Structure 1
Amino acid sequence: MESVSRRRSLAFRSRDSVINQFRRGWLRAVAFALLWWLLTAGAMGSWLIGAPVVLIATLVSMALVPPFSLSPSGVVYFVPFFIWHSLRGGADVAWRAFHPGMPIAPGLVDYPLRLPPGMPRVFMVNTVSLLPGTLSAELGANCLKVHVLDTRKSVLSELLTVERAVARMFGTSLQKVKGGECNEEV
């Protein structure tokens, strides 16, 4: 009796998994098709090549990129957050570049990552590299080495703010920092 119930449970989970995979695959295919359409300026003749490319890109992404979910409210929060920090950082870098004394104190800063491994951490590392004045230099197990233009600024608190925004977008919580991985305290 128990094995029949267990088989039904496994069959339901398997069907649910297939439905979720189909939904993820469909969303990715739509995203790749939209990208193809944008790249080809909507040329209908390009779909002879585009359709197989979209299919292959979808299958490869399903195999290589693990599933993840985004919090809609987190995304709505992150987009203006990122735009504001990019503009503010860009203005700061431009000011430093044109200032006669060139007030910079470049260096490397170790930042203890508290995001879980996987897509949230990868997104955090890439986001840090896109913000003006910072560049992700090396990723350790739980430590990110960041090159900054000015080590005198409160870089660690800014990185923590970015990490919190990324965690909110992925709907995840930050883990406690384990001692010894990075020398810095946040």
Structure 2
Amino acid sequence: MDQETIRLIGTLMGAVIAGLGGALIAGGYNRKNTQATIEASKDQWNRDRSAQHEQWQRDRASEHEKWLRDRKVDAYVNFLLQLRVLVGSAHDIKVGNLKDEIDSVVQERSNALETLHMELFAPEHVQKCALDTIGLAYDLINAAKAKDLMKEIHLDVTFDQKSIELERLIRLDLGSDSSGLQP
């Protein structure tokens, strides 16, 4: 081989070695950068996923609170309406609208009084006040049947006070009482 060919082969091998070396160095940097990018993407994905999960939990809790409040409102409204109908029996007895069917009408109205939902959704202090109010309603009906006017007037005032207390406790439970009083 002549001198010129050796130099050409040497230059060619140097160029090949430099090219391969450059490719290896660039590949190493690219691999390092690619791994860093993949790890950063995984971290970002985990943060996004965690944030979405937390938002989902907050939304779920909010929806449950709204559902529960709606069930409480329905239970309270139905209970108070049925209680008023039951107490209306005392007025019906007094004015003579109920004659022979007094006991059956009172029993029918008593059966309609829905307490199950109150037991499910109302706190204990609201349930206790509701039961006290029901007891006063029955006492008022019995006083009207016995035609005991003084007892009826006293029970009517006591029932009204207990009803006001029950409504205040219900408003507190629903978070709509502005008086600032606690149960």
TM-score strictly above 0.5: no
TM-score, normalization by structure 1: 0.24
Tell which has more relative contact order, 1 or 2 (C-alpha 8 A, sep 6+).
1
- Higher percent of residues as helix: 2
Could you say which structure has the higher strand fraction?
1
* Bigger-Rg structure (1/2): 2
